[in-house]
Amino acid sequence: MKTLKIEELSKNFGSTEVLRKINLEIDEGNFLVLLGPSGCGKSTLLNIIAGLETINEGNVHIDDYNVSKVEPKDRNIAMVFQSYALYPSMNVRENMIFGLKQAKVSKEKIEEQLEKVSKFLQVDALLERKPSQLSGGQRQRVAIGRALVREPRIFLFDEPLSNLDAKLRVEMRREIKKLHQQLKTTVVYVTHDQTEAMSLGTNIAIMNHGVIQQNDTPENIYNKPSNTFVADFIGSPSMNLIKGNLKESSNKVSFITHGSNIEIPINGYDFKEKSNLDNKEVFFGIRPEHIFFKKSNEEDFEINLRADLSEYIGHEQIMTFNFENQEVLAKFPSTVKIDLSKNTKLFFDLTQISLFDAKTEERI
Amino acid sequence: MQDKTHSSYKQLEQKSKYTNMFLRWFLYFVLVIFALYFIFPLYVMVVTSLKTMEEIRQGTLLTWPSGLNFDSWLVAWGGRGYGAGDTFLKPYFWNSIKMVVPAVFFSTFIGAMAGYVLTKWRFKGDKWVFLFLLFGCFIPYQAILLPMARTLGVLGISNSVIGLVLVHTVYGIPFTTLFFRNFYVSIPSELVKAARIDGAGFFKIFFKILLPVSTPIIVVTIIWQFTQIWNDFLFGSTFSFGEAAPIQVALNNMVLSSTSVKEYNVDMASAIIAGIPTLIVYVLAGKYFIRGLTSGAVKG
């Protein structure tokens, strides 16, 4: 039984297609992050799961129950919003129990739930305050509390940390992670922040133009991006995508970029399909953090590139190198001194590379 | 600029100080002139209403009255006590109250509802509905007189306070809807979403969530509608006569139809009485008026 299952879901606003044939499943207790640039349809998808938006095609199942036409309040979900959406005229207590009162839960049960949750989230001292008298972090906590008291099957978070300042955001991120560890409730979480997605999710679904590009564990998303969009979207700075061709001779495969005679051997690479590789146009993908200034293991490929630019950011520096007129970025500790405009010896960790078909932009 | 010495900066500082002082005094001067200009008619009205006819004939407009003489006020309010032809404001004042209270209430309430629907329960074509409503703000009063008279006739409520309540309510809805719609647009729709998930329905969300934060705009609407309806003369004089007339119509009749000598003191007192309720509303709720017009939504 899947806690949440979405089948062939499509949604348009007028003539604009927002979601296209979305398929998604979540197991009990998992933390799914919907990640993507703004306008990719992730918030619409979340609203559809909540029942706040109608569906054009497809179905939403919660606990094997088709809820596509069920009212939001009957879906056994709770939602936390970006603007917190606390009812301004009610105090914290009234905010938190509003839903239970609507559901006609008994007074004793309401009090019990309220006490439990408000202690758990440490807002028990704030119960009589109005939302306007709370700080950003407190509001956030009350909003989560309002969701918690309903004891939902699924928690929906809609960019809950975007309104907080950088420091508080990191704190609240950890609190949400702890919360999930303790409660083990299924979560669907929408964000455009990749760090949030990586640190919170057990699964990440990366969306673009209303389509899920890849739905996988954070490790696989990072290490084995399924197309150039994912490769480019995840990581900061993002993965270097060097254009070139493959060359296959006597069972050995190598990569050559245009106008260069350097052959990068890629024998260890785990190809999806090992045929028709010779002369294939590809993107050679390597992350800036997998380029080193000294040899780290035997497999490393040594290459000489000219350093063009250095960006110092405290604990590290981002260097830009020129590889046959294509930019290659690398991340080094800031203690390393590298002269600009001179050729530098670099080492590519070939166990960490990705290859993409230059035409389809899919991983090969 | 780099060769400016310390002393030349001192001079510039002095200069700008004098300029600022001059501008400040000039500002006060202009403000005082305006204030006098606006208060002048009111002064004449109050002073004249407190004079006897004798004093009015002998003095000028600006002369101070010899004493506090409220006789003309009593006459304006309650009449002289002789039967036919004695027009006074009291019954018409209550007509106006009976008209203005329900008309303000209904137009405000309907406007709030409409604004709520237009912003939080979007539907196909809602933009057009809003556009047509806006259109209502620009239709001149005169254009609807005939059709409205016919409507009132068909409904059987012409020449009645109820008829006037209907006219003012209908004519007020475009304005009140505009006010509430613009206010609710700035209240995050996530509030409504949260309430829907919490299980609140259409009316519960309106009464429990939105209405409690609408005080500023409710006050603005009440002041606006009250002033419009209380001061209305055209609808009142067209759709009512005799006993059903509102105060503005009665005031007009009183001032224009007196056959004998013009009693300026009574006229002035009547005019003030007719204007007092709007003044009271402004004084009581004025600070909300400014706040409501300028402030947007409730944050948080």
Question: Six-digit token pair at B13?
Answer: 């500082």
Is pLDDT of A92 > 80?
A: yes
**Residue that terminates a domain, selected from B78, B109, B131:** B78
Asked if B194 and B256 sit in the same domain, the reply is yes
The residue among A248, A202, A210, A245 whose CA lies nearest residue A229 is A210
Is the pLDDT confidence value at B299 over 60? no
Q: What are chain A's domains?
A: 4-228 (3.40.50.300), 240-357 (2.40.50.140)
Does a structural domain hold residue B299? Answer: no
Same domain, B111 and B74: no
pLDDT at A357: 94
pLDDT at residue B87 tops 90 = no
- Residues A204, A207, A213: CA angle, nearest 5 degrees: 80
| Phi and psi angles of residue B213, each rounded to the nearest 5 degrees, phi first | -100, 10
Residue B152 pLDDT class (50, 70, 90 cuts): very high
**A269 contacts: CB under 8 Å, gap ≥ 6:** A253, A350, A353, A355
Pair B133, B248 in one domain: yes
**Mean pLDDT for the stretch of residues A288-302:** 89
Chain length of chain B: 300
In chain B, which residues have their Cβ closer than 8 Å to the Cβ of A89?
A: 208-209, 212-213
Gap from B191 CA to chain A (nearest CA, Å): 5
Which residues constitute the domain of residue B70?
Answer: 6-78
Domain shared by B224 and B99, yes or no = yes
Give the other-Cβ count within 10 Å of B30's Cβ. 10
DSSP B205: I
Residue B50 lies in a domain: yes
Q: Is the pLDDT of residue B186 over 70?
A: yes
Asked if the model's pLDDT at residue B259 lies above 70, the reply is: no
Q: Is the pLDDT at A191 greater than 60, yes or no? A: yes
What pLDDT, on a 0 to 100 scale, did the predictor assign at position A14? 85
Within the 199-228 window of chain B, which residues sit less than 8 Å (CB to CB) from chain A?
199-200, 204, 208-209, 212-213
Would the pLDDT of A236 be above 60? yes
At A333-357, the pLDDT tens digits run 999 888 999 999 999 999 999 999 9
- Average pLDDT score, chain A: 92
- CA end-to-end span of chain A: 33
Burial of B113-145, coded b for 16+ CB within 10 Å and e otherwise, reads: bbbbbbbbeeeeeeeeebeebeebeeeeeeebe
Q: What is the interface pTM, i.e. ipTM, of the complex?
A: 0.85
Chain B interface, mutation test: which of A87, A113, A153, most B Cβ atoms within 10 Å?
Answer: A87
Rg (CA), chain B: 26
Q: Which two tokens stand for residue A345?
A: 């010896």
| 8 Å CB contact of B195 and A87 | yes
Nearest beta carbon to residue A88 from set B193, B196, B300? B300
* Shortest CA gap A103–chain B (Å): 7
Tell me which of A244-248, B62-66, B109-113, B217-221 is least confident.
Answer: B62-66
Q: Is residue B231 part of a domain?
A: yes
**How many A-B residue pairs are in contact by the CB < 8 A criterion?**
67
Residues B103 and B249 grouped into a single domain = yes
| Residue B211 shares a structural domain with residue B112 | yes
Q: Are A99 and B198 an interchain contact pair (Cβ–Cβ within 8 Å)?
A: yes
Give the minimum alpha-carbon distance from A33 to chain B in angstroms, rounded to a whole number.
20
Domain count, chain B: 2
Other C-beta atoms within 10 Å of A232: how many?
Answer: 17
Contacts of A82 (CB under 8 A, 6+ apart): A158, A159, A160, A162, A163, B190
Ordered strands of the A65-66 beta sheet: A16-26, A4-13, A57-62, A65-66
Same domain? B193 vs B52: no
Task: Report the relative pairing of strands A77-80 and A154-158 from DSSP bridges.
Answer: parallel
- What's the pLDDT score for residue A53? 92
pLDDT at A73: 92
Residue A195 clears pLDDT 80, i.e. is over it: yes
**Is residue A163 very low, low, confident or very high in pLDDT (cuts 50, 70, 90)?**
confident
Q: Which residues of A touch B298 (CB under 8 A)?
A: 88, 132
From B192's Cα to the closest Cα of chain A, the distance in A is 8
Model pLDDT, residue B75: 86
What is the pLDDT, as a whole number, of residue B243?
A: 83
Residue with structure tokens 């004793």? A108
B6-47 per-position pLDDT tens digit: 778 888 888 899 999 999 999 999 999 999 999 999 999 999
| Alpha helix (H) residue ranges in chain A | 42-50, 92-102, 107-120, 136-148, 166-183, 194-200, 218-223, 228-233
pLDDT band at B258 (very low <50, low <70, confident <90, very high): low
Residues A124-129, mean pLDDT to the nearest whole number: 93
Q: Are A98 and B195 inside 8 Å of each other by CB?
A: yes
Q: Are A19 and A49 in contact (CB under 8 A)?
A: no
Does B272 contact A at CB distance below 8 Å?
no
Instruction: Tell me A135's DSSP state.
Output: -
Using one digit for the tens of pLDDT, what is the confidence trace for B202-249? 999 999 999 998 988 999 899 999 999 999 999 998 888 788 889 999
Cα-only R_g, chain A: 25
Chain B stretch 122-141, residues whose beta carbon is closer than 8 A to a beta carbon of chain A: none
pLDDT exceeds 70 at position A132: yes
What integer pLDDT is reported at residue B269 of this predicted model? 92
Q: Is residue B1 part of a domain?
A: no
- Is the pLDDT at A218 greater than 90? The verdict is yes
Does residue A299 have a pLDDT over 50?
A: yes
Partner residue facing B209 (CB), from A72, A84, A87: A87
Whether residues B73 and B169 fall in one domain: no
Mean pLDDT of the residues in chain B = 87
CA dist., res. B283 & res. B215, Å (int): 17
Instruction: Look at residue B84 and tell me if it is in a domain.
Output: no
Q: Do B298 and A72 touch (CB under 8 A)?
A: no
- Angle at A26 (CA atoms; ends A20, A27), nearest 5 degrees: 165
pLDDT score for B297: 38
Assess whether the previous peptide bond of A152 is cis (omega < 30° from 0).
Answer: no
Task: Say yes or no: B74 and B142 in one domain.
Answer: no
Query: By CB neighbour count within 10 A (0-12 exposed, 13-18 middle, 19+ buried), where does B290 fall?
Result: exposed
**Average of per-residue pLDDT across A157-171:** 90
Q: Is the pLDDT at B199 greater than 80, yes or no?
A: yes
- Considering the domain architecture, whether residues B10 and B121 belong to the same structural domain is answered as no
User: pLDDT by residue (tens digit) across A9-66?
Assistant: 999 988 899 999 999 999 999 999 999 999 899 999 999 999 999 999 999 999 989 9
One domain, residues B271 and B163 = yes
Residue that finishes a domain, picked among B30, B48, B78: B78
Shared-domain flag, residues B154 and B204: yes
- pLDDT above 50 for B252: yes
Distance of alpha carbon A334 from alpha carbon A327, whole angstroms:
20
Best mutation site among A44, A53, A74, A98 for testing chain B: the one with the most B CBs within 10 Å?
Answer: A98
